[in-house]
Chain A
Amino acid sequence: MSEIRLLRDAVAQLIHDGDIVAFEGFTHLIPFAAAHEVIRQGITDLTLVRMTPDVIYDQLIGAGLVKKLVFSWGGNPGVGSLHRFRDAVENGWPRPLEIDEHSHAGMANRYVAGASGLPFAVLRGYRGTDLVERTNTVSTIACPFTGEELAAVAALNPDVTVIHAQQADRDGNVQLWGLTGVQKEAALAAKRVLVTVEEIVDRLTLRPGGVVLPSWVVTAVAEVPGGAHPSYATGYSIRDNDFYQAWDRISRDRQTFTGWVDDHILRTEEASAR
């Protein structure tokens, strides 16, 4: 059964130096507040997994906490580059960043395999591309029925998956809705699951198309209203597109970035520590 905790306690308890951590949420419901708590606690040497690193991983990478990144699309959606990601890959600042790079279909299927208890997943993909040259987590397999050659991608099983959802009830059952991305698979592939929620309610009302994670597959829940900002939570907030555009300027320069982290993450109280 999941426990309802303060965010800082849940992060300290679940995420450790050297862990493989997936903070998922495909543009929607990105768990920014939990990542900021990781930065405040200085949890480091992380292997971070995420289809779209987005601004959330740009911040963790720039803060020097990330050893390796497993991903499929590393841009600022609709804006341009992730400058901290680029600086780490190109110049090793603030530390070298090892990368394991896939396509979206490959990453999605790696989570599916992880959630399914399988060592790998099969898909039509990667053939003819140079992606296969740069990773040891893609191979090929012959179909046992037709002999056709298909791509095989290694399962992903994070130590911890962190997601943001709209609601949990007092027993720690969680529901998210809207664009639900790959969160169900990422959560069920992980050893531990931390969910931040907009709101804790007495009873969950089931939503069409909603994803429910029962309490017994969730390790901890923390109530963090606005915890997905500048991403958003359908029904509670809208995407702060202006912030994504402003991030281009904030992140372009190392000093501006560091100053921003000091002012907006390190010197702020965690939202749920009230």
Chain B
Amino acid sequence: MSDWTNDELMTVSAARALSAARTCFVGIGLPSTAANLARRTSRPDLVLIYESGALGSKPTRLPLSIGDGELAETADAVVSVPEMFNYWLQGGRIDVGFLGAAQLDRHANINTTVVDRGPGRPEGRLPGAGGAPEIAANCGEVLIVLRHSTRNFVDRLDFTTSVGHGAGNGDRRRLGLRGRGPVAVITDLGILRPAPDTAELVLTDLHPGVTVEQARAATGWPLKTADAVGVTAPPTDAELAALRGLKAA
């Protein structure tokens, strides 16, 4: 199984990023795929939490929505939506929040609300906030998984739906946001992490065969790189088999 795609490595890398997590608040789509892959590889005990009210779901196949019946049927507990957001998320019980984005800026702030389509045209409507603002605010830390392009990685957000690191280092504390915020952005080209001094996202890892220039060309701001840029380990046979099994189920 030596053939794999960068999209697969993105999901595998996102699953690996959960290796130290105990509990994960999971959004649908790429985050759900990655979190379920982690349960099948490095983190079989990972507690998956879905905002529909399911704590500790163990789905046998990838759910289409956060409310699929299997999420509740395989859960350790099912709670109401107000309880989920107030006691479990706001109460600081969840280690990792896993989010996607439509637009992301250099401080890992997220837009999922509207996009500006230029003069004379109405704003393009996106689904909106959902659970993301409070996931970004209240989870112990946040992982973001997103395909790398200048459409997604923008110089300026058209709208701030969820706060990553605000205007830079110290902004989360100033805003009273209690979690650490985004610690990694995992893409199909590599991994970006906030610089310790500025909280600006810098390129820390590239997937095998991807160049710094490719990552820069796909980023809407002048992307800085870490002093030493690492190379992501390719997917193992076990990781690939688990991922493909999940997608086929």
Contacts and interface: CB of A to CB of B under 8 A. Distances in A.
Interface stretch (A1-9, A13-21, A37-45, A96-104): A96-104
Most chain-B Cβ atoms within 10 A of its Cβ — which of A52, A211, A232? A52
Interface in B35-87: 51-54, 63-69, 71-73, 78, 80-82, 84-86
B89 to A, nearest CB: 7
Contact of B52 (A28, A79, A131, A185): A28
B28 interface: yes
Contacts of B177: 127-128
Interface size for chain B: under 10, 10 to 19, 20 to 34, or 35 or more residues? 35 or more
Contacts of A78: 28-29, 63-65
B133 A105 contact: yes
Contact of B53 (A52, A131, A179): A179
Interface string B98-130: 000000000000000100000000111111111
Contacts of B176: 124, 127, 148-149
A239 B65 contact: yes
Interface stretch (B155-163, B211-219, B221-229, B232-240): B155-163
Interface in A97-123: 101-105, 108-109, 111-112, 123
Nearest to A183: B80
A181 B79 CA distance: 8
Contacts of B163: 127-129
Interface of A: 26-28, 51-52, 71-75, 77-79, 81-82, 85-86, 89-91, 101-105, 108-109, 111-112, 123-131, 148-149, 178-182, 184-185, 209, 211, 232, 234, 238-239, 241, 244-245
Instruction: State the 3 A-B residue pairs at the shortest beta-carbon distance, nearest first.
Output: A27-B67, A75-B127, A73-B130
14 contacts: A78-B28, A81-B125, A90-B122, A105-B90, A127-B163, A130-B161, A179-B53, A180-B78, A181-B53, A182-B81, A185-B80, A232-B69, A234-B72, A244-B65
